[in-house]
């Protein structure tokens, strides 16, 4: 279903069951899969592909992007505070998501809209399945986010950052360009130099490997002493 006040290029292909709402702009050669929803005033750039069950709200999508099944972009971020009565109150989430050109987002990944600034994803960034991008996050160009990675609100990633599977970045943290995070790395404070990092909290990968070897050696030594102790 296409709203009469949506601007859809004649070359766009919209599958049965998809919805394009009022004020949306769908540019040349876009493909929108079955049961996807393009919300009011969303803009989709040329040749971008939305597969099935994609949900877009409060966002602009660049050219030549691919959004796989179940991707959600532009929903409210996770922001709450406790008022003077002890009640949990929702913070307003009223800004947008800006996605650059040649971005790919894997199945069932989520990108939240901004609260005090737009959430942004730079050109040529590639995002795996089941990734969470929090509100107000800024991701640079040519980043890679592997499955189950999560980025807390208002964090910033420079260009060419790589996040291994299940890696996490805390809110408001800044990560320098050309940083690579090993799987399950937890970044709790700013990373100011490029390189490889691992562990929780994140440290340079070489330091983490030395620590892991030392801990293993301590375990072996303790086991050996236990065996050698008199009964």
Q: Residue 7 has what pLDDT?
A: 97
**Residue 26 within a domain:** no
**Residue 193 within a domain:** yes
Higher-confidence position of 214 and 157: 157
Q: What is the reported pTM?
A: 0.91
Do 218 and 197 meet the contact criterion of CB atoms below 8 Å apart? no
Question: Residues 68-86: what's their mean pLDDT?
Answer: 97
User: What is the residue range of 152's domain?
Assistant: 57-202
Do 57 and 113 meet the contact criterion of CB atoms below 8 Å apart? yes
pLDDT digits (tens, 9 = 90+) for 1-16: 999 999 999 999 999 9
Identified catalytic residue from 58, 68, 124, 135: 135
pLDDT digits (tens, 9 = 90+) for 97-132: 999 999 999 999 999 999 999 999 999 999 999 999
Structural domain count of the chain: 1
Q: Residue 184 has what pLDDT?
A: 98
**Residue 227 within a domain:** no
Which two tokens mark 212?
A: 């892991």
Q: Residue 213 has what pLDDT?
A: 87
Question: Residues 195-224: what's their mean pLDDT?
Answer: 86
Do 121 and 98 meet the contact criterion of CB atoms below 8 Å apart? yes
135 is catalytic: yes
Question: What pLDDT band is residue 174 in, cutting at 50, 70 and 90?
Answer: very high
**Residue 40 within a domain:** no
Verify cis geometry, omega within 30 degrees of 0, for the bond prior to 201. Answer: yes
How far apart CA 139 and CA 174 sit, in angstroms, is 10
Q: Give me the CATH number covering residue 79.
A: 2.160.10.10
How far apart CA 192 and CA 176 sit, in angstroms, is 5
**Residue 33 within a domain:** no
Q: Which of 29-33, 135-139, 214-218 comes out lowest in average pLDDT? A: 214-218
Q: Residue 215 has what pLDDT?
A: 80
**Residue 18 within a domain:** no
Q: Residue 216 has what pLDDT?
A: 81
Whole-number mean pLDDT of the chain?
96
**Residue 25 within a domain:** no
How far apart CA 221 and CA 51 sit, in angstroms, is 55
């Amino acid at each position: 279903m296409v709203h009469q006040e949506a601007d859809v290029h004649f070359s766009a292909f919209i599958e049965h069951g998809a919805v394009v709402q009022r004020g949306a702009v769908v540019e040349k050669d876009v493909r929108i899969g079955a049961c996807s929803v393009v919300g009011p005033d969303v803009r989709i750039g040329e040749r971008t592909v939305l597969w099935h069950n994609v949900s877009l709200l409060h966002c602009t999508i660049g050219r030549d992007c691919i959004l796989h099944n179940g991707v959600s972009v532009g929903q409210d971020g996770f922001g709450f505070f406790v008022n003077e009565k002890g009640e949990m109150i929702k913070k307003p989430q009223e800004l947008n998501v800006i996605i650059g050109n040649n971005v790919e987002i894997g199945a069932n990944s989520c990108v939240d809209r901004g609260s005090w600034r737009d959430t942004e994803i730079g050109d040529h960034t590639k995002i795996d399945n089941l990734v969470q991008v929090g509100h107000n996050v800024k991701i640079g160009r040519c980043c890679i986010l592997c499955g189950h990675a999560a980025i807390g609100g208002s964090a910033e990633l420079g260009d060419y950052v790589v996040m291994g599977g299940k890696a996490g970045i805390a809110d408001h943290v800044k990560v320098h360009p050309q940083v690579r995070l090993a799987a399950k790395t937890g970044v709790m404070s700013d990373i100011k130099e490029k390189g490889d990092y691992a562990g929780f909290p994140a440290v340079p990968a070489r330091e983490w490997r030395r620590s892991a070897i030392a801990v293993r050696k301590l375990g072996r030594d303790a086991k050996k002493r236990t065996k050698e102790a008199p009964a």
